[in-house]
Chains A and B, each alone.
Chain A
């Protein structure tokens, strides 16, 4: 709202050069533009050709030719008020045409006389009153709003703006002290260009502003004309007032003019002093408010962080939570927790949380010439999925180093032009496959986020990018994702954002070799924090490497300490800020890292506890199992006794009757049926006994010939199976096999069980076959026994169930559900395994692998 002052053209006419200059000097700078005429004719010429608001004429001046007094000659310019002055004290010859005659040539007299003839004295007075009203109103309004505004930057900006307006100055500024380095720095400004502002730091001891700051007295410079003052730059005029709070200077409020010749006066100084006292209160209010906000936020963060950190004892949840809390607390982009592996002297990454949005061109660069598969995918606009299990390449190597299992890269296209890519990172094999729908959703999100990152600078935009990225992570179930823009020459990808989290509890884990980085080693071993800027002078090798990899500006490293012992390192970094961390932030970080150490230890303990519990549960299960089996065994024996006696009578007496009965009689077939039913019942009891036989604790381990056991069992069951029109095929090598060391009779039980199971599955099927084959080559470490059938197969969903105890598909009473369970226990006891291959309607193959001992005959 600077008022354009009306400039008055004044002509000074005088024959004496020094005198004329004196008058000119005295008038200049008071809002007058002063021209001079040193001769009678010059004066007439000037007035004829230029418009002047007034003329000051030396009364002693004549036309050198005609002798006519100049003042008389100028009479005809009636519209120009004339002021007659006298340089030699003589009275003017003819004062009729002039409005004023002045004797003194002091500045004040001259100015007042000019103002007088121009009628601006009154005008000025009126303007002054109006200006005062304005000023008071400005101050009042400012004072009122300042009490409402609590945000410091806003407060300061308003004060500076008001200061400039009140003083009609070109530039306004507030300088606040930076106590650490003893300098004043530019905290708020108006009218000052960016480049000047960036380097604007003023020493407090020997400059003008410094003097104002240390003395608490205002400085007003400029009434004496242009001059260089110690302000680090040229000004025409300048006014600095101290911002005083309780008699202590807390800053400097200043205005200056660099271009205009206007000078500041004491009135403006008084205004600025008034404004400064408002400012002091407002700054203090804002500071207190900010302090309380910060404290509240810190407290809240601390409370939240502790809650989060301690809320979960599962490592894979605790770790990223800690990282996230640290990121929020210190308001950085990322945080990583490493544990220190003493033997290898490595820091191994446990967890990372990252919400980074780089300034354009400041993120990591992916050179496409190094990744041919990626380049091809971009050219063909198709997605690329690389897993570290794949064929070794530059791509898989980088996954291995980064502890990444799978990387999914999707080119993002708009108007047939590839804009960039979205890259989704998976630490473990992806849980779901990437169907068309998922990829489309990913493309939509990717496009939106790339558009955002391309122009994202505001806080809002970055939050939006983070939300989109989190959505991407959710959609593909990735651990984290990146957005990268394709460079204009299509030779590289420039990563713009990286968002997500990761936990590494198993190898491969990204690692930092401390032997190569003495600064990190020192930080861990001596438990001292790292606080570095990328442009810092004493930037260590390790800190530089970390900053480079993360494309970050600042790094804070806090040792992870448990009971006084260094356990690892927590790193934080930021890609945008370039300030160092304050002591207070480091303390806060330490507090949380301390909690993290405890939480980490708890989680480790719980993890171990869970393992022990699991083992205990296994043992418990086995004990229950044994108890049940033992009970089963006793029950089976009792049942067998109870059933086998009547069965003996049924079977034997029926057999005798069959022998006596003519084969064509009606009773003969009935008797055969009774016999068959009895034998079936006998089979069930036999199987019950075979499977539920309590394990003999101290049964001796003997060298058993596998083929002998198979022959024995085949001789026992062959007839039984063949009677149901099932072909039995046995096949084994001619050579003598090395023995298997196990308890006598246990292998027999396995064959019996599996053959009888196959028999049950095959009953009633055409061309049914069951086989038992022994596969062994000299020098093999195993004997494989394959029991196969061409039955209906075992449905896939129960394949994993069939070895569980008491699992049976047979009707009640026909199976105990223990056969395969016990078989597997027996085989595992000798160090072998049972595997199953089964396909619907093609049959089932059980492969029993038994280890043999070499050199045994």
Chain B
């Protein structure tokens, strides 16, 4: 039975989330603040955290950063809830290392689909990948540590960034559309999820691995999607 933690300062929303998750037969932990969530996770790591962004004292983004700063929680799937739905919030959230986001008020099937997809991926992350190190030209990705090696530099990726880069490297010279990547990387059913999610993650990934002017790995094919070329 998967263990899902929901964090929201709004008690009504929190309890609704509790009811939704219980109906899915998950083990549910509820937290009403960021600090409460962090201490609960310290005691026992859940399989997925559903995290509200706007909270008093410590907001969801800070909570996510704290988690990602700890190697223990690098693969812990984080699903953001946002009531603002503005691009800035989403980008901030994904920058902080979240895997996906859902905008309030969400529809029940949508939330269910995201939660199940993230749990499936989380389960697979725990198994060692078949081919731990992939290399294309000077770009080297270690799937054990989620680290990229470029020259002498070591760059730490989040789990979703790692999965996205790995997928692109596994399908070298193929242009992959956001819709395709949502299904393949995020394991969403067809026509679910937001292409913005893909764009935001690509942007974050580029910021990390294309940090020098001469480093260009991920190409944007306008009107199609993204590609890594040999």
Query: Which residues of A does B touch, CB under 8 Å?
Result: 637, 640-641, 644-653, 655-656, 678, 682, 686, 689, 693, 696, 703, 705, 708, 712, 715, 736-737, 739, 744-745, 856-857
Q: Measured between C-beta atoms, what is the minimum distance from B188 to chain A in Å?
A: 13
Q: Measured between C-beta atoms, what is the minimum distance from A740 to chain B in Å?
A: 11
Q: Are B108 and A648 in contact (CB under 8 A)?
A: no
Contact among A653, A696, A703, A745 for B222, CB-based, below 8 A: A703
Residues of A within 8 A of B108 (CB): 651-652, 655-656
Q: How far is the CA of A460 from the CA of B89 in the complex (A)?
A: 85
Q: Are B222 and A651 in contact (CB under 8 A)?
A: no
Q: Are B83 and A640 in contact (CB under 8 A)?
A: yes
Q: Are B12 and A744 in contact (CB under 8 A)?
A: no
Q: Are B84 and A641 in contact (CB under 8 A)?
A: yes
Could you list 11 further interchain pairs (A-B, Cβ under 8 angstroms) beyond the known A644-B105, A648-B105, A650-B105? A640-B83, A645-B12, A648-B12, A652-B16, A655-B108, A656-B20, A693-B86, A696-B87, A715-B191, A739-B222, A857-B223
Q: Are A656 and B19 in contact (CB under 8 A)?
A: yes
Q: How far is the CA of A499 from the CA of B191 in the complex (A)?
A: 76
Q: Are B222 and A857 in contact (CB under 8 A)?
A: yes
Q: How far is the CA of A300 from the CA of B17 in the complex (A)?
A: 91
Q: Measured between C-beta atoms, what is the minimum distance from A168 to chain B in Å?
A: 115
Q: Are B16 and A648 in contact (CB under 8 A)?
A: yes
Residues of A within 8 A of B195 (CB): 712
Known: A653-B16, A739-B223. Is A689-B106 also a contact (CB below 8 A)? no
Known: A648-B106, A682-B105. Is A640-B223 also a contact (CB below 8 A)? no
Known: A645-B10, A648-B105, A656-B19. Is A708-B223 also a contact (CB below 8 A)? yes
Interface string of B92-135 (1 = CB under 8 A from A): 00000000000111111001000000000000000000000000
Known: A640-B83, A645-B13. Is A652-B105 also a contact (CB below 8 A)? yes
Residues of B within 8 A of A651 (CB): 105-108
Interface set, chain B 1-56, CB cutoff 8 A to A: 10, 12-13, 15-17, 19-20, 23, 54
Residues of A within 8 A of B196 (CB): 745
What are 21 pairs between A and B in contact, CB < 8 Å? A640-B83, A640-B84, A641-B54, A641-B83, A644-B103, A645-B10, A645-B13, A648-B13, A648-B104, A651-B107, A652-B16, A652-B20, A652-B111, A655-B108, A656-B23, A703-B222, A705-B222, A745-B87, A745-B196, A857-B222, A857-B223
Q: How many residues of B contact A (CB 8 A)?
A: 29
Residues of A within 8 A of B15 (CB): 649
Q: Measured between C-beta atoms, what is the minimum distance from A322 to chain B in Å?
A: 60
Q: How far is the CA of A645 from the CA of B16 in the complex (A)?
A: 10
The yes or no answer to B199 lying at the interface (CB within 8 A) is: yes
Contact among B10, B20, B199 for A744, CB-based, below 8 A: B199
Residues of A within 8 A of B223 (CB): 705, 708, 736-737, 739, 857
Residues of B within 8 A of A648 (CB): 12-13, 16, 83, 104-106
Q: Are B84 and A689 in contact (CB under 8 A)?
A: yes
Q: Measured between C-beta atoms, what is the minimum distance from A658 to chain B in Å?
A: 9
Known: A641-B54, A705-B222. Is A649-B12 also a contact (CB below 8 A)? yes
The yes or no answer to B189 lying at the interface (CB within 8 A) is: no
Q: How far is the CA of A686 from the CA of B86 in the complex (A)?
A: 10
Interface centre among A645, A653, A708, A737 (most CB of B within 10 A): A645
Q: Are B16 and A649 in contact (CB under 8 A)?
A: yes
Q: Measured between C-beta atoms, what is the minimum distance from B27 to chain A in Å?
A: 18
- What's the dominant secondary structure at chain A's contact region? helix
Q: Are A653 and B10 in contact (CB under 8 A)?
A: no
Q: How far is the CA of A737 from the CA of B224 in the complex (A)?
A: 12
Q: Measured between C-beta atoms, what is the minimum distance from A452 to chain B in Å?
A: 77
Q: Are A640 and B85 in contact (CB under 8 A)?
A: yes
Q: How far is the CA of A641 from the CA of B107 in the complex (A)?
A: 17
Question: In chain B, what residue has the closest Cβ to A655?
Answer: B108
Q: Are A637 and B105 in contact (CB under 8 A)?
A: no
Q: How far is the CA of A273 from the CA of B207 in the complex (A)?
A: 119
Q: How far is the CA of A652 from the CA of B87 in the complex (A)?
A: 24
Q: How far is the CA of A682 from the CA of B105 in the complex (A)?
A: 7
Q: Are B85 and A686 in contact (CB under 8 A)?
A: yes
Question: In chain A, what residue has the closest Cβ to B8?
Answer: A645
Interface set, chain B 68-93, CB cutoff 8 A to A: 83-88
Residues of A within 8 A of B88 (CB): 696
Q: Measured between C-beta atoms, what is the minimum distance from B4 to chain A in Å?
A: 15
Residues of A within 8 A of B191 (CB): 715
Q: Measured between C-beta atoms, what is the minimum distance from B141 to chain A in Å?
A: 27
Q: Are A637 and B84 in contact (CB under 8 A)?
A: yes
Residues of B within 8 A of A656 (CB): 19-20, 23, 108
Query: Which residues of B does A touch, CB under 8 Å?
Result: 10, 12-13, 15-17, 19-20, 23, 54, 83-88, 103-108, 111, 191, 195-196, 199, 222-223
Residues of B within 8 A of A689 (CB): 84-86
Residues of B within 8 A of A640 (CB): 83-85
Question: In chain A, what residue has the closest Cβ to B23?
Answer: A656
Q: Measured between C-beta atoms, what is the minimum distance from A398 to chain B in Å?
A: 57
Q: Measured between C-beta atoms, what is the minimum distance from B106 to chain A in Å?
A: 7
Known: A641-B84, A693-B86, A745-B87. Is A647-B20 also a contact (CB below 8 A)? no
Residues of A within 8 A of B104 (CB): 644-645, 647-648
Q: Are A655 and B222 in contact (CB under 8 A)?
A: no
Q: How far is the CA of A696 from the CA of B85 in the complex (A)?
A: 15
Q: How far is the CA of A256 from the CA of B183 in the complex (A)?
A: 128
Residues of B within 8 A of A703 (CB): 222
Q: Are B54 and A652 in contact (CB under 8 A)?
A: no
Residues of A within 8 A of B111 (CB): 652
Q: Are B83 and A645 in contact (CB under 8 A)?
A: yes
Q: Measured between C-beta atoms, what is the minimum distance from A426 to chain B in Å?
A: 54
Q: How far is the CA of A686 from the CA of B223 in the complex (A)?
A: 27
Q: Are A644 and B83 in contact (CB under 8 A)?
A: yes
Contact among B13, B54, B84, B199 for A649, CB-based, below 8 A: B13
Interface centre among B20, B107, B222 (most CB of A within 10 A): B222
Residues of A within 8 A of B199 (CB): 744
Q: How far is the CA of A557 from the CA of B83 in the complex (A)?
A: 78
Q: How far is the CA of A647 from the CA of B13 in the complex (A)?
A: 9
Contact among B17, B86, B107 for A655, CB-based, below 8 A: B107
Q: How far is the CA of A641 from the CA of B20 in the complex (A)?
A: 21
Q: Are B86 and A646 in contact (CB under 8 A)?
A: no
Q: How far is the CA of A712 from the CA of B105 in the complex (A)?
A: 20
Q: Measured between C-beta atoms, what is the minimum distance from A734 to chain B in Å?
A: 13
Residues of A within 8 A of B23 (CB): 656
**Closest A-B pairs by Cβ, 9 of them:** A644-B83, A647-B105, A705-B223, A655-B108, A648-B105, A644-B104, A641-B83, A649-B12, A649-B16
Q: Measured between C-beta atoms, what is the minimum distance from A167 to chain B in Å?
A: 113
Residues of A within 8 A of B84 (CB): 637, 640-641, 689
Q: How far is the CA of A696 from the CA of B91 in the complex (A)?
A: 14
Residues of B within 8 A of A647 (CB): 104-105
Question: In chain B, what residue has the closest Cβ to A641?
Answer: B83
Q: How far is the CA of A649 from the CA of B108 in the complex (A)?
A: 11
Interface centre among A644, A737, A856 (most CB of B within 10 A): A644
Q: Measured between C-beta atoms, what is the minimum distance from B18 to chain A in Å?
A: 11
Q: How far is the CA of A649 from the CA of B195 in the complex (A)?
A: 26
Q: Measured between C-beta atoms, what is the minimum distance from A733 to chain B in Å?
A: 13
Question: In chain B, what residue has the closest Cβ to A646?
Answer: B12
Q: Measured between C-beta atoms, what is the minimum distance from A715 to chain B in Å?
A: 6
Q: Measured between C-beta atoms, what is the minimum distance from A749 to chain B in Å?
A: 11
Residues of A within 8 A of B83 (CB): 640-641, 644-645, 648
Q: How far is the CA of A712 from the CA of B87 in the complex (A)?
A: 16
Question: In chain A, what residue has the closest Cβ to B54?
Answer: A641
Residues of A within 8 A of B87 (CB): 696, 745
Interface centre among B10, B195, B199 (most CB of A within 10 A): B10
Residues of B within 8 A of A737 (CB): 223
Q: How far is the CA of A656 from the CA of B108 in the complex (A)?
A: 8
Q: Are A653 and B19 in contact (CB under 8 A)?
A: yes
Q: Measured between C-beta atoms, what is the minimum distance from A638 to chain B in Å?
A: 9
Residues of B within 8 A of A650 (CB): 105
Q: Measured between C-beta atoms, what is the minimum distance from A747 to chain B in Å?
A: 13
Known: A644-B104, A652-B16, A655-B107. Is A637-B86 also a contact (CB below 8 A)? yes
